[in-house]
Amino acid sequence: MSEGHWSEHYPGPTHQPPVHVDRVHAGGPDVAQHPKLQHHFDDMGQQAEASTLGMWVFLVTEIMFFGGLFMCYLVYRTASPEGFAEASHHLNVFWGAANTIVLIVSSLTMALAVRAAQTSAPPKTQVFWIAATMILGAAFLGVKAIEYWDKFTHHLVPGPNFVWEGKHPAAAEMFYSLYFCMTGLHALHMVIGLVIMTVVGIMAWRRQFDENYYTPVEVSGLYWHFVDIVWIFLFPLLYLIGGHVGA
Amino acid sequence: METLNYLNNGHGLASWLLTRDHKRIALLYLASITGFFFLGGLFAFMIRLELLTPAGDVMSSDTYNKMFTMHGVVMVFFFLIPSIPAVLGNFLIPIMIGAKDLAFPRINLLSWYIYVLGGIFTLVAALSGGVDTGWTFYTPYSTAAANSHVITAALGIFITGFSSILTGLNFIVTVHRMRAPGLTWFRLPLFVWSMYATSLVMILGTPVIAITVLLVAAERVLHMGIFDPALGGDPILFQHLFWFYSHPAVYIMILPAMGVISEIVQAFSRKNIFGYSFVAFSSLAIAIIGFLVWGHHLFVSGQSVYAGMIFSILSYLVAIPSAIKVFNWTATIYKGSVSLDSPMLYAFGFLGLFTIGGLTGLFLAAMGLDIHVHDTYFVVAHFHYIMVGGAIMGYLGGLHYWWPKISGRLYSEPWAKFAALMVFVGFNLTFFPQFVAGYLGMPRRYHAYPDEFQVLNVASTLGASILSVGYVLPMVYFTWSLFKGAPSPSDPWGAQGLEWEIPSPPPTENFHVTPIVTHGTHQYAPSKEVGIV
């Protein structure tokens, strides 16, 4: 079968002759020949759009993934608001707030890394911002480790060794079950983020990103910002509740 | 000399296991899914064998529990959910929209490996002693009491879920970004619409079952009491989270079959679909409303009566878009030039069986009646009419319709018609008696039953034997066709759509030149604005 028979087969009003498609490329012929263009895309623009949309769709699945945990939190906090407030007071607001600031700053450095790649900044600049983001991410995980260790030594890890002196031991244990599940899953996402940033950092060092091709940095940035935003919800829900109940 | 196509473009194991061609990945899925289908069928055979006599004489009740659990887990997660999307969707979506491949070919291959890894976990769970919790993994039994391999099986489901998520993600991005010039949304084949709606359910629902299964594992291993009442948790919450995914998962199974039926009905009635946009939007409506009905699984679980009433009403609502589809298919066939080729026989089978399954679903959505037939064989019969009578009929119909395109060969049409008849007769003989048994009060999930139910159960087992022949036959003549079948022309059915414009089997890049689409891809009759030249 020949491929050029579209219009004969479907007699349309326009009778458009088969065109050997050469779509208009946004960046001119150089972009069309870009070594990073995969065979099944027409141009770099389509490829970049597909990748970013793919990441957005993935982030939707992530919202549903964390959503299940937030649902559990909602159900059990509604069941025992006093117990949750009581348990929350044993979290260290200073470390939580410090980590919040660390993550917000890391979102800034991440945005600057995307900007550096987008504007064809020298690889050193790109790698600098990526490395800065990674250092802040690692700092967050370090603080998290200190907090976890603190909970471990104070017998606040749910299970047979859990000890609670207050009025609501059952609710407190549930609170800490959720605390470890939610922050643990978030920390796992941070670790995955660091692995992704390592790969992106190496690619940047090898001069792979410029104004024509920076999708990996952009897409990793979307992921990084998402993980930050999850923390923005976790911090108040876990650390700051119960002010109105009275300490 | 044979022309170059996707099947002969590269030989050897590595050219298949490392392929990024969506058509080859579809065949990898076809092979593995067929394996799981017959494994799940084996478990079903053991169940039917035990139920041949009222006494529990073939196996112990524990073994029986493992049999129906493994049957459910394998059939739902490893056959029905991936069946049409991963095989036919993978093969057809890029071709139907005039693209060279899915948006993310590597992720597509990855999703198959993830599926296989999840399958291995489940096989290990089955071989090392099985799971006896039922496919629903209800807590606290699954976390506190069951001594079987719950964690292994749950991990298998968790892992396979990501395969489903990645497939859905790939389809959504592909449909949004890869359509050929001129192929607007309302020119898309209806199969693509239904796969798009399915993908929405996959990406929104699957993560919730993933986190739920993860929490079950955390409870079993770390003794975090999220669901176990002994540890302060709430087992009803598990049921809510479980059914938030697992009810929409029913639509993951049936929506793709509906897409297949839309294509077959048009091709073999030689008519454009009646009410294109209604059929397209009803897919989206099913996907959306389908997320709001999960509570009808909890009518007797201690959910509040008011919640029950709302879920009952919402469950009635989801019948409307399904009925729209059935009416529109019927209107398409009406006064069409109908030819009874094997795909159309499956489509007719689907129409009848899906209607019965859907209407009995309304019985179950009514709270008063549901309390009477809850956990009886009535429920078992109902969902088998949807999942086997609906989803598998659609899958088989689709395989028969597109097999000449996939393989480039023609199969034996008389045998195919005979198999379609066997499937239809065998299916009804298996599951219709179960409606009666359930209505008379026979509970599900027991390996023994009172003597009065024996006639119905013998009929059911006899039907299952006929059904199994109907399922083995296509595998035989499809395999035969690969070696002995006559080469298929590019459009053996005289059907319309981009997939029938390219050679059978298609070349690796699908289209040497990107097609330009100037109107709907299915023009069985000239549309009004085109006129007759």
- 3-state helix, strand and coil shares in percent for chain A, rounded to the nearest 5: 70, 0, 30
Q: Kindly report, residue by residue over B190-238, the tens digit of the pLDDT.
A: 999 999 999 999 999 999 999 999 999 888 888 888 998 888 899 999 9
How many residues does the structure list for chain B? 533
CA distances from B289 to B36, B207, B299, B319 (A): 30, 18, 18, 10
Min Cα–Cα distance to chain A from B101, Å:
6
- Contact state of A159 with B233 under an 8 Å Cβ cutoff: no
Q: Kindly report, residue by residue over B429-475, the tens digit of the pLDDT.
A: 999 999 999 999 999 999 999 999 999 999 999 999 999 999 999 99
Provide the residue ranges of all domains of chain B, joining segments of one domain with +: 16-500
Q: Exposed, middle or buried by CB within 10 Å (0-12, 13-18, 19+), for A147?
A: middle
Q: Between residues A129 and A18, which one has the greater pLDDT?
A: A129
User: Which chain A residues have a beta carbon less than 8 Å from that of B169?
Assistant: 54, 57-58, 61
User: Which chain B residues have a beta carbon less than 8 Å from that of A23?
Assistant: 181
Gap between the Cα atoms of B139 and B487, Å rounded:
54
Cis previous bond, B140, omega within 30 = yes
Q: Give me the pLDDT at residue B456, please.
A: 97
**Mutation to test the B interface, candidates A22, A40, A174, most B Cβ within 10 Å:** A40
Percent of chain B with pLDDT over 70: 98
Bridge partner list, A210: A213
- Contact state of B224 with A67 under an 8 Å Cβ cutoff: no
B110 touches chain A (CB under 8 A): no
- Contact state of B241 with A68 under an 8 Å Cβ cutoff: yes
**Mutation to test the A interface, candidates B226, B509, B533, most A Cβ within 10 Å:** B226
Closest CA to B309 of B289, B288, B295, B291: B295
Interface of B with A in 60-99 (CB under 8 A): 99
Q: Give me the pLDDT at residue B526, please.
A: 56
Residue in A with minimal Cα distance to B516 = A18
Gap between the Cα atoms of B119 and B32, Å rounded:
9
- Contact state of A11 with B178 under an 8 Å Cβ cutoff: no
Please check whether residue B95 is in contact with residue B409, taking contact to mean a CB–CB distance below 8 angstroms: no
Inter-axis angle of helices B190-222 and A44-79, nearest 10: 40
Residue in B with minimal Cα distance to A158 = B224
User: Which chain A residues have a beta carbon less than 8 Å from that of B518?
Assistant: 6-7, 10, 12-14, 16
Q: Give me the pLDDT at residue B370, please.
A: 92
Residue B171: pLDDT band by 50, 70, 90 thresholds?
Answer: very high
CA distances from A233 to A139, A171, A224, A229 (A): 19, 21, 15, 7
Q: Which fold has domain B16-500?
A: Cytochrome C Oxidase; Chain A (1.20.210)
Residue-wise burial string across A57-68, b where 16 or more C-beta atoms lie within 10 A, e elsewhere:
bbebbbebbbbb
A29 touches chain B (CB under 8 A): no
> In this model, does residue B500 exceed pLDDT 60?
yes
Interface of B with A in 153-182 (CB under 8 A): 165, 169-170, 172-174, 176-178, 181
Gap between the Cα atoms of A185 and A65, Å rounded:
10
Please check whether residue B381 is in contact with residue B360, taking contact to mean a CB–CB distance below 8 angstroms: yes
User: Which chain B residues have a beta carbon less than 8 Å from that of A14?
Assistant: 518
Residue in B with minimal Cα distance to A157 = B224
User: Which chain A residues have a beta carbon less than 8 Å from that of B516?
Assistant: 6, 16, 18-19, 21
- Mean pLDDT to the nearest integer, B422-427: 97
> In this model, does residue B179 exceed pLDDT 70?
yes
Residue B522: pLDDT band by 50, 70, 90 thresholds?
Answer: confident
For residue A7, the SS3 value is helix
Domain A44-239 class, CATH top level: mainly alpha
- Contact state of B223 with A16 under an 8 Å Cβ cutoff: no
Q: Kindly report, residue by residue over A82-117, the tens digit of the pLDDT.
A: 999 999 999 999 999 999 999 999 999 999 999 999
- Contact state of A49 with B226 under an 8 Å Cβ cutoff: no
Q: Kindly report, residue by residue over B324-361, the tens digit of the pLDDT.
A: 999 999 999 999 999 999 999 999 999 999 999 999 99
Residue in A with minimal Cα distance to B218 = A181
Q: Give me the pLDDT at residue B231, please.
A: 82
Q: Kindly report, residue by residue over A196-208, the tens digit of the pLDDT.
A: 999 999 999 999 9
Min Cα–Cα distance to chain B from A12, Å:
6
B302 touches chain A (CB under 8 A): no
> In this model, does residue A42 exceed pLDDT 70?
yes
- Contact state of A21 with B181 under an 8 Å Cβ cutoff: yes
A24 touches chain B (CB under 8 A): no
A58 touches chain B (CB under 8 A): yes
**Mutation to test the A interface, candidates B21, B512, B514, most A Cβ within 10 Å:** B514
Here the tokens at position B411 are 């199969």
H/E stretch holding B481: helix B454-484
B512 touches chain A (CB under 8 A): yes
CA atoms lying within 13 Å on the CB side of residue B529: 6
Residue A15: pLDDT band by 50, 70, 90 thresholds?
Answer: very low
Q: Give me the pLDDT at residue A97, please.
A: 96
Q: In the predicted model, what is the mean pLDDT of chain A? A: 87
User: Which chain A residues have a beta carbon less than 8 Å from that of B237?
Assistant: 71-72, 75
> In this model, does residue B362 exceed pLDDT 80?
yes
- Mean pLDDT to the nearest integer, B398-415: 97
Q: Give me the pLDDT at residue B528, please.
A: 52
Nearest neighbour of B226 by CB, restricted to A53, A62, A72:
A72
Interface of A with B in 59-118 (CB under 8 A): 60-62, 64-69, 71-72, 75-76, 79
Residue in B with minimal Cα distance to A69 = B211
H/E stretch holding B355: helix B342-365
Q: Give me the pLDDT at residue B145, please.
A: 79
Q: Give me the pLDDT at residue B210, please.
A: 95
Residue B400: pLDDT band by 50, 70, 90 thresholds?
Answer: very high
Instruction: Please state the φ and ψ torsions of residue B78, each to the nearest 5 degrees.
Output: -110, -10
Min Cα–Cα distance to chain B from A9, Å:
9
Interface of A with B in 160-189 (CB under 8 A): 160, 170-171, 173-174, 177-178, 180-181
Percent of chain B with pLDDT over 90: 87
- Mean pLDDT to the nearest integer, A119-125: 95
How many beta-carbon contacts under 8 Å exist across A and B?
148
- The vertex-B79 CA angle with A68 and B201, nearest 5°, equals 35
Give every CB contact of residue B102 below 8 A, 6+ residues apart in sequence.
Answer: A40, B22, B90, B93, B94, B108, B170, B171, B174, B178
Q: Give me the pLDDT at residue B351, please.
A: 97
Q: In the predicted model, what is the mean pLDDT of chain B? A: 94
Residue in B with minimal Cα distance to A66 = B211
User: Could you write out the DSSP letters of every residue in B31-100?
Assistant: HHHHHHHHHHHHHHHHHHHHTTSSS--SS-HHHHHHHHHHHHHIIIIIIIHHIIIIIIIHHHHHHHTT-S
Gap between the Cα atoms of B49 and A120, Å rounded:
69
Residue in B with minimal Cα distance to A75 = B237
> In this model, does residue B43 exceed pLDDT 80?
yes
User: Which chain B residues have a beta carbon less than 8 Å from that of A62?
Assistant: 207
User: Which chain A residues have a beta carbon less than 8 Å from that of B523?
Assistant: 10
Gap between the Cα atoms of A1 and A5, Å rounded:
9
Q: Give me the pLDDT at residue B2, please.
A: 67
Interface of A with B in 193-212 (CB under 8 A): none
Gap between the Cα atoms of A93 and A235, Å rounded:
9
Q: Give me the pLDDT at residue A244, please.
A: 53
> In this model, does residue A22 exceed pLDDT 80?
no
CA distances from B298 to A175, B244, B301, B308, B374 (A): 26, 11, 5, 8, 10
User: Could you write out the DSSP letters of every residue in A50-70?
Assistant: HHHHHHHHHHHHHHHHHHHHH
> In this model, does residue B261 exceed pLDDT 90?
yes
Three-state secondary structure readout of A109-178: HHHHHHHHHHCCCCHHHHHHHHHHHHHHHHHHHHHHHHHHHHHHHCCCCCCCCCCCCCCCHHHHHHHHHH
Cis previous bond, B404, omega within 30 = no
Min Cα–Cα distance to chain B from A23, Å:
9
